[in-house]
């Protein structure tokens, strides 16, 4: 899938599943594959079908009330939050001078 801004393609996001998990692993959860040059996997979120990723696009991360970094949360069946994060950051990049 391509993400465009004002008619120009600014990113390409694949819909493939993450194949880095070992076949012998007890963890049967499959994660959505995200480009490694845009996102770094941080951890699975316990009790949900989601994982946290660190954005590598150069954006300033938000912080929670306790001071910890708030990473991008992505559901294992949808890339919506990652796509939205890229679109918002690309919009900021192209509109700031």
- Alpha-carbon span 79 to 40, nearest angstrom: 14
Domain ranges of the chain: 2-18+29-95
- Alpha-carbon span 10 to 33, nearest angstrom: 18
Say what the pLDDT of residue 87 is.
Answer: 85
pLDDT in tens, 14-44: 444 444 444 444 555 677 788 888 899 999 9
Instruction: Flag whether pLDDT at 4 surpasses 60.
Output: no
Say what the pLDDT of residue 24 is.
Answer: 42
Q: pTM value?
A: 0.63
Buried b vs exposed e over 60-88: b needs ≥16 C-beta within 10 Å?
eeeeeeeeeeebbebbbeebeebbebbee
The residue among 71, 78, 72 whose CA lies nearest residue 31 is 78
């Amino acid at each position: 899938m391509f993400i465009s801004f004002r008619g120009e393609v600014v990113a390409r996001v694949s819909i493939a599943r993450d194949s880095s998990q070992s076949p012998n692993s007890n963890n049967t959860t499959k994660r959505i594959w995200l480009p490694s040059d845009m996102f770094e996997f941080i951890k699975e979120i316990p009790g949900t079908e989601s994982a946290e990723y660190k954005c590598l696009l150069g954006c300033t991360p938000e912080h929670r009330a306790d001071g910890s970094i708030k990473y991008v949360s992505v559901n294992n069946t949808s890339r919506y939050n990652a796509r939205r994060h890229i679109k918002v950051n690309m919009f900021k990049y192209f509109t700031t001078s």
